[in-house]
């Protein structure tokens, strides 16, 4: 894996009771589909491409998990903000 060069990142806590389950991962992936560069979700030493539901699910984020959302290109800053908001709102659940 290439050494990641993130330009912005934000740490968030997964609040919703079922963690990053399929429905939540779908919402993330749909938002991340529109990025210019890459958006990553990082948990401990693992990272997942935020546009892939499968990769997000394999992180197995339970409720209370701390994850970092990172972007590589500053033109994706608004998507980072949207993702952080999505996670912090508990995915509207």
Partner 1 sequence: MSNTDDKEIELHGISASPGICIGKAYLVGKEGVDVLEKYFIDQNKLQEEVHRFKAAVKSAKNELHGIIKTMPEDLRQDAHILEAHMVLFEDKMLYGRTLETIEKELVNAEWALKIVVSDVKAMFDNMADSYLRGRAADIIHVSDSIMQNLAGAKVENIAAINKRVILIASDLSPAETSQIQLEKIMGFVTDHGGKTSHTGIIAQTLEIPAVLGTDNATSIIKNDDIIIVDGTAGSVIINPTDQTLIQFEERKERYESHKANITRDSELPAETADGICMEVMGNIELPEEVVSVINYGGDGIGLYRTEFQYLSRPDFPSEYELFDRYKDVVEVMAPKPVTIRTFDLSGDKKVAYVSRSGDANPALGLRGIRYCLQKPDAFMTQLRAVLRASAFGHVRILLPMVSCHEEIIAAKNIFNKATDSLAKEGVDFDENIEIGVMIEVPSAAIMADVMATDVDFFSIGTNDLIQYSLAVDRVNKDVAYLYQPLHPAIIRMIKHVIDVAKDKGVKVLMCGEMASDPINIPILLGLGMENFSMNPQSIPAVKSMIRALTVKDTRPFVQKVLKESSSNAIIELVQDTYGSILSDKFYYLD
- As given in the structure block, the two tokens for residue 71 are 């972007």
Among 6, 7, 8, 52, binds partner 1 (CB under 8 A): 52
Owner of token pair 């401990």: 44
Among 9, 26, 68, 81, binds partner 1 (CB under 8 A): 26
Binding of partner 1 at residue 68 (CB under 8 A)? no
Q: How many CB atoms lie within 10 A of CB 45?
A: 5
Nearer to partner 1, 62 or 77 (CB): 62
Instruction: Burial-class residue 67 by CB neighbours within 10 Å (0-12, 13-18, 19+).
Output: buried
Residues that bind partner 1 (CB under 8 A): 13-15, 17-19, 21-23, 25-26, 29-30, 33, 49, 51-55, 57-58, 60, 62-64
């Amino acid at each position: 894996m290439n050494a990641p060069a993130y330009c912005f990142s934000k740490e968030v806590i997964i609040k919703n009771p079922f963690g990053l389950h399929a429905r939540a991962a779908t919402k993330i992936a749909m938002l991340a589909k529109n990025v210019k560069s890459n958006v990553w979700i990082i948990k401990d030493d693992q990272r997942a491409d935020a546009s892939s539901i499968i990769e997000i699910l394999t992180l197995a984020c339970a409720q209370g998990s701390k994850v970092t959302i990172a972007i590589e290109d500053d033109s994706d800053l608004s998507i980072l903000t949207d993702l952080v908001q999505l996670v912090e709102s508990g995915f509207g659940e």
